[in-house]
Structure 1
Amino acid sequence: MINYETIVQPQEFTVEQIFNNNEYLIPIYQRNYAWSSVEIEQLLDDINDIDINKTKKYYLGNLIVNERGINCFEVIDGQQRLTTLFLLLCFLNNQSINEGSLTFEAREVSNRTLNLIKARKARNDKSGYSENLYSQEIIEGYSIISKYFDKKNRESISEFNKKLSAIILVRTQVPKNIDLNHYFEIMNTRGEQLELHEIMKAKLLGAIKSSDKERDRLDKIIASTIWDACSQMNKYVQMCLPIEKRKSIFGKSWNSFDIGDFDELRNLFGKENLNNETEFTLESKLRQPVYSLNASIKEDSIENERFESIVTFPNFLLLVNEAVSLADENKDNDAGLDDKRFLEIMKAHWSSKGAALNFIFSLLKYRYIFDQYIIKREYIGQYRLDGKWSLQQLTSYREKKHYYKPYYLLTFSSTSRKSDKSKYDSEINNRLCWLESCLRITYTSPKTMHWIARVMADVNKNPDGNHIIPMLEKYCCEKIEESKYQIRTGFNIDRIVFTYLDYILLRDEFKPFRDFQFQFRTSIEHFFPRHPINMKDADCINNIDSFGNLALITVSANSKFSNMIPKHKVEQYPEIINQSPKLIKMKRLLDENGGAWDSSSIDEHKVEMFKLLDDEIKDKIG
C-alpha cells in the first residue's frame, strides 16, 4: 500500500515558473521533438485568444515527471508541449530560461541546437544548418514561432507576454520507486494523460488529512469509492456500487437517499470490507485498464450501454459546484461551467478536509438527483439504434430469495409495483421529459447547461420534484423575453424561441402526440424559400424572414427541403413536417388556404404564435 504522505500532490505553475530554478531532462527513450506548425500555431493561438480580464487561469495541460534530484526532473509525459514552451520563452527572451533548463539525454545534436537558440543566434529558417550538427525539427519549431510573431507589432507581443502569467501547467510527480518501464507500457496503451478531473480527485484526497490517521484513511477510501461510482455517467449511480452498499445508502429498494452529511455516509459504510478497497494514487490510476471504468459487475452486465448521459463527468462536477452555489446567486454564469478553467473553479473544494468531504457528499447526493430527474438517452427495443429521451428512476425487485435486480420506472410513476403498468404512463413525466429535451437540444454547449444545475438545486430543496416544471418554464420564458424575439427576424431569432414554442404546442394542443421526440434541430428553415425554383412565386412574399415563415428543423431535413415551395414540402416530406409542432401548425394553415402560402399567411401565423408566447411569458413571470 502506498503511503499518502509520501505522494507529492499535483502542482500548478505558470509558463515562466515551470522553468524557474528547475531543470528538465528529456530521457533517451522519449521520441525526438516532432511538433509541426499545426500544433505550434494552435498552442500560440490558444494563448493569444485569452482575455486576461475575464480569465485568471487558463490550463494548458499536464506535465508528468520523475524527480531525479533537487529541482531536477525527468520528463515522462508532455515533452512536446514543454519543448515548445521552452522555444517560445527563448524567442521572447524570457529571463526564466537558464543553462540546463531543458536538455536531452544523450542527444548532443538536440542540445547543441537548444544552446544555439538560448544564445539567440538561430536564424528564422533551417537552411544552412547541417543535419549532422543541428536538429532540423527544433530549428523548424523555433522558426514557426518567429514567423508567427513577425505578423504582429510590438504592442501585440507585449500583450502576449502578459497573457503568459495566466497560462497554467499542472506538474504531477510519479511516486518514488515506481517501475517506469511499467509506467510507459501503460501510458502507451492508454495513449492519454491524466485529465483535470483526475487531478481534482488527487487534490481532494490529499486534503483529507488530520491528526487521526486511521479516520483519514477510511475517509479517503470512502471518498474514492464514491468518486469512482459517480464518474460512471452512463449508468445509474446505484449500479456502480457493490450491492451491500446500495442497500445501506439507497435503501432496500435502492430508490431513496435520506443521508444528511458525510458523517452519516461514513457510518453507513462502516469499516467492514474497506481495508482492501482501492486507494487513489497516480500509480493506481495508471495501472487501471482503459476499460475498467465501464466494466460492470457480472449480474449487471445486461444494463451496459442501455443509457447514455447528456453530460460528461467533468461537466457534471462543474454542475454540482454550480448547484451548491445557486443558493447564493440565482443567475447563469457561463464562466462557471467553462472546463478550461476547471481547476480554478473547483479549487475551494480542496481547501480543507471539511470542504473535501462536503463536496464528496454533495457529489453523491446530486448524482442521485441527476439520475432521477435529468433525462438520458435510452437504447432499448425499437430505439436500440437511435435512442429515445428517457426520464426514469431506478428501483429493485427480488427475483430470488436473496437476489435483487434493477428495474426502471418513470420518475413520477405513482407505483413501484412492476405489474401495475396502467399507472406508468404519467402525464407529468411526459411533460418534464419534453421540457428537458427541449432545453437539451437548445443549449448544446456544456457551458450553457445551467438548467441542469437549477433542477438539481431545486430537488435538493423540494425532494418531491413537483417544483421542477414551473421553475423550468419560468427559466425558458426569461430566456425568451431576454432574446427580444418580437423585433428579431431570420437567423437572428434565438433557438429557444422555436423549441419552447414547440413545447407549449405539445403541452396544450398536441396531447395525442405523446410519443413526440425532440430532435437536435439547428437549421432555421424558411417555409417559403428565400430562393424558390420559380422566382415568380416570390412576388407575393414581402416578409420572408418573419417568424411566421420560419421553423427549426434538422440540417439533413433542410437539405431535402431545398428551394421547394411549401405545398411540395408538405406533400413530399411529411416526416420532416412532423419534426416541429410549429411546422405542423403551418401545414394546417396551408391546407386551410388550399395550398397557398403568402404574406398574409405568414402574418397570421406570426400573430398567433407570438400571442402564445406573450401569454406564456405573462403567466410565468408576470
Structure 2
Amino acid sequence: MGENIKEIKVSELFISVKYEIPIYQRNYAWQKEQIEQLIDDINDMEEMYFLGNLIVNKKDIDTYEVIDGQQRLTTLYLLQKYLKMNISKESLYFEAREKSNKTLLIIGDEIDNNLYDLESYEINNGYKIIKDYFNTKINTEEDIIDFKQKLDNVKLIRIQVPQNIDLNHYFEIMNTRGEQLQYHEIAKARLLSMLATDEDKKIGALIWDACADMNSYVQMNFDTKIRKNLFSNKWDKLCSSIDSFDEIREKVNIEKSDIRTNESKTLLEILEDKKVTHSIKQDEYKENERFESIISFPNFILQVNKAIYFNKDENESMLDDKKFLENMQRNWESKQTSEEFLYNLLKCRVLFDKYIIKREFISEYKDRGKWSLQRLESYNDNKNLKPIYRQTFDGDSDSNKMIRTLQSCLRVTYTSPKTMHWISLVLSKLINNEDTNILHTLENYCRDKIKSSDYKSSKGFSIERIVFTYLDYLLYKKGYSYKNVDLIKDSIKNEWEFQFRNSIEHFYPQNPLDENYYEIWGRDDLDSFGNLALITTSGNSKFSNLPPEGKINSYKDVIKQSLKLIIMKEMILENGGKWSKEISEKHKKEMFKIIDEDIDDLESKDCEYFEEIGSEKKVGVLLRHNLKRITAKGLIERGKIKGFLSLSEIMEAFSETELDKEQIELLDETLGNLGIQLIENLNYDEENFDL
C-alpha cells in the first residue's frame, strides 16, 4: 500500500513520531463509556484486531497533523502513559494549548496530586477513568502484562491525505459525511494494490463496484457489453469458461467499457462520494427499487471470505465486522490471493442473488414487501434483451417454496449479520457444486442448532428462538392435525410467511388481569414450551395480560403470526374455550414429538446411507454427528453400524487425513461405543496430531 495507508501497531504508535492536534479540533471529550469500550475491545481480542482509522496530513518527517481520530489517539496516549510504555517525548501535541500539553507531559508521573492545578480537566478525567478501570478489572501484574502484549496485535490504519490537499474542503466533506473511511473501502484499496497492472486494477474495481450494489441483481450492475461477455446467454450464471480472474480479464475489454470505476479516485474523491457510481444506463428499469438484500455489502464480503475458507477455518468470529480487516488480510497477501478473492466475490455474488432470498417490493407487496427466491434471466422484447425474474427452482415450485420458507425462518431467527453463518454455509456448498441440495443442507444446519440448544430442558426466555421458528417451519412443511382436523390448511400456508418475531409470549399470562377469577400458574407451568409462542413485540404488547380466550378473540391477526399459536387457538376451541395446564402439557409433548421425529428421520436416513457407502465416508458420517454435537445414538441404537467398520478400514480411511486432538478424542468416543478402539491403535505426532 505504501506510506499513504499504513498499518501501525498501537504499541509502536508513539515511538519516533509526533502527532499535532490543530487548534481547530475540539478539545478531548471522551467520557467513561467510550474509554472503557475501547479498553474492553482491546482486552477481549484474541488475535489481531483493528481499532479504526487515523487520518493525518504529513507536515514534516515523522510529524503528522491529525485530521480525524484524535479522540481515540489521545485515549491511546493516556492508556500507554498509565501502562508506562515507550512513548517519545511530545509525541502528542496540542497546537496553542499549553495547559493540555503540560498535562500530557506530567500525567502518570506519580504526581497526580498536582494534576488538578494544570486545569486540563478533560485529559485528567480521561486518565483517571483509565486508572480506575485497571484498579478494578485488570489489577494483577499478570493481567497487565497480558494486556500490554495485546497492544502488539492491535493496529490502527493511518491514512495520509494527499500532499497539498485543500484541508478546508476536506473538513467540509468530513463534516457532511460524519464518518470515517469504512473498512471495506480500505479492503478494496489493499486488494487492488496487489494487482500487477493498471488494467487488472480497473477490472478488479469493476468487479468490486458491481458487487457493492446489493439491492439489484449483479448482472444489471454491468453495462450491456460487459454483461454479454461475462454471463451466459440467459444471464443466469457466469459463462462456463470463466473460472478465474484471468478468464474475466479475457472476457472484459476494459477500454471499451462505459463504466468509470472509482479505482483511480483519490482519497478525497472517495470521501466526497463513497457510494458506487456507475454511468451504466439502467434503461427504463428501476430494479434497485424492487429488491432489497438481506445483508449489506460489507457483510457479504465477510460471507464470501468465510465461504471460500469454510473447511479450513470455521471460526465463528469470521463474520464479526469489528474484525473485518483481520479476517480479510489473507486475501491481499499476494497478487494471486487478491485475484482469487475478486473472482470468488463475483462468483459468490451471482450465486447469492440466485439462491439466497431477498425482500421484493412489487404489486400489492410494494409497501411491506415479501420474501423472494428468484433468478434473473434475459428475454428479447424484439428490440433489446431485458431482465425477467423466475423462481430459482421453477421446475419444482414446492422446492422453491420450502427453501424460501426455511431461509426466511433463518433470516428472522438470526438477525445480527455476524450470526448469519447459514449464508456462508450455503455459498461454500454452491461454490463447489451448484447442484447441491440446499434444503437438505439448511435443514441439517437447523437440526444442529436445535440439538445443541438443550430445548427439552430449557424454560421460558432461555429457550432459543430457533426452536420456535424451526418448529413453525416443520408445521408449514408437514402440516398438523388435531383430533383428525387439519389445522394448517393450504389457505393458511398461502397467506402465511415468517415475520421478525422476537418476543416470547406466555399464552396463559404471568399476571392475569383478574387474579380472583383466574388461577395462578406455577413458574414451571408458565415457562413450559407448551404455554409459549414467539410473536412480534407489538403483538406481545397487545396481548398484555389478557387470558388466552381473550387473546384469540380480540387479536386474531397476532394469532396468525405463529403456526404454533394457531394450533394453540384451535386446542382452546376444542376444550370448551379454556386453556389448561393439561392442554399446555399435551401441546408441548406433541410439538416436541414433531421435532424429535424430524431429527430421528435424519439419523434413519444416515443409517440407510451408511449401508451403501465406503469406509472413508462412513467415518465422515460419524464425524459429522459427533463433532457437531449430534450424538450417534440414533445410529448405534439401530445396530446398523457395529461391524461395518474394521480397524483396517478405519486406518485406510485416515491414511491421508489430518485431525486435531479434540477430533481424535471425539471420534474415539464414538467408535468406543461400537467396541472399536482407535487411539491406542493409531500413531500420531503428539504436537500436531497428524495421523
Fold-level similarity (TM above 0.5): yes
- Picking from 14, 33, 40, the partner of 2:35 is 40
Aligned to 1:445: 416
CA contact (8 A) 2:222 2:280 kept: no
Q: Summarize the alignment of residues 61-460 of structure 1 with structure 2, pairs less than 5 Å apart.
A: 61-95=52-86, 97-117=87-107, 121-123=111-113, 126=116, 128-129=117-118, 134-151=119-136, 154-155=139-140, 157-158=144-145, 160-209=147-196, 216-257=197-238, 258=240, 259-273=242-256, 277-280=261-264, 282-283=266-267, 285-289=269-273, 292=276, 297=281, 299=283, 302-328=286-312, 333-399=315-381, 401=383, 403-414=384-395, 426-460=397-431
Shift of residue 269, structure 1, vs aligned partner: 0.5
CA contact (8 A) 1:239 1:300 kept: no
Residue type matched to 2:247 in 1? E
CA contact (8 A) 2:32 2:126 kept: yes
CA contact (8 A) 2:261 2:277 kept: no
Shift of residue 294, structure 1, vs aligned partner: 9.2
CA contact (8 A) 2:354 2:376 kept: yes
* 2:518 aligned counterpart, secondary structure: helix
Shift of residue 290, structure 1, vs aligned partner: 5.0
Aligned to 1:420: none
CA contact (8 A) 2:559 2:566 kept: yes
- The CA distance in 2 between the partners of 1:154 and 1:434, in whole Å, is 51
Describe the shift of the 1:528–1:303 C-alpha distance in structure 2 as closer, same or farther (beyond 3 A). Answer: same
Q: What are the Cα deviations for residues 340-360 of structure 1, in whole angstroms up to 9, with x where unaligned? A: 112121111111101000000
* 1:13 aligned counterpart, secondary structure: strand
- The CA distance in 1 between the partners of 2:269 and 2:229, in whole Å, is 27
Shift of residue 558, structure 1, vs aligned partner: 1.2
Shift of residue 543, structure 1, vs aligned partner: 2.6
Q: What are the Cα deviations for residues 431-450 of structure 1, in whole angstroms up to 9, with x where unaligned? A: 11110000111112222211
Describe the shift of the 1:464–1:160 C-alpha distance in structure 2 as closer, same or farther (beyond 3 A). Answer: closer
- The CA distance in 2 between the partners of 1:620 and 1:576, in whole Å, is 33
Residue type matched to 2:54 in 1? L
CA contact (8 A) 2:505 2:532 kept: yes
Describe the shift of the 1:9–1:203 C-alpha distance in structure 2 as closer, same or farther (beyond 3 A). Answer: farther
Describe the shift of the 1:194–1:540 C-alpha distance in structure 2 as closer, same or farther (beyond 3 A). Answer: closer
Tell me the TM-score normalised to structure 2 length.
0.79
Q: Is there any run of 5+ residues in structure 1 with no aligned partner, and where?
A: 210-215, 415-424
- The CA distance in 2 between the partners of 1:539 and 1:88, in whole Å, is 55
- The CA distance in 2 between the partners of 1:281 and 1:76, in whole Å, is 20
Describe the shift of the 1:614–1:180 C-alpha distance in structure 2 as closer, same or farther (beyond 3 A). Answer: same
Tell me the TM-score normalised to structure 1 length.
0.88
Describe the shift of the 1:594–1:454 C-alpha distance in structure 2 as closer, same or farther (beyond 3 A). Answer: same
Shift of residue 152, structure 1, vs aligned partner: 5.0
Residue type matched to 2:412 in 1? I
Shift of residue 162, structure 1, vs aligned partner: 4.2
Q: 1 or 2 for the larger relative contact order (CA 8 Å, sep ≥6)?
A: 1
CA contact (8 A) 1:590 1:597 kept: yes
Residue type matched to 1:442 in 2? T
Residue type matched to 1:410 in 2? Q
CA contact (8 A) 1:477 1:621 kept: no
Shift of residue 108, structure 1, vs aligned partner: 3.3
Q: Is there any run of 5+ residues in structure 2 with no aligned partner, and where?
A: 480-487, 605-691
Aligned to 1:30: 25
Residue type matched to 2:557 in 1? E
Number of residue pairs matched by the alignment: 587
Q: What are the Cα deviations for residues 427-467 of structure 1, in whole angstroms up to 9, with x where unaligned? A: 222111110000111112222211101111222233245x1
- The CA distance in 2 between the partners of 1:75 and 1:26, in whole Å, is 5
Q: CA RMSD in A?
A: 2.6
Describe the shift of the 1:251–1:27 C-alpha distance in structure 2 as closer, same or farther (beyond 3 A). Answer: same
Aligned to 1:588: 570
- The CA distance in 1 between the partners of 2:148 and 2:311, in whole Å, is 39
Aligned to 1:418: none
CA contact (8 A) 1:498 1:552 kept: yes
Q: What are the Cα deviations for residues 9-33 of structure 1, in whole angstroms up to 9, with x where unaligned? A: 6322222211122221223343333
* 1:39 aligned counterpart, secondary structure: helix
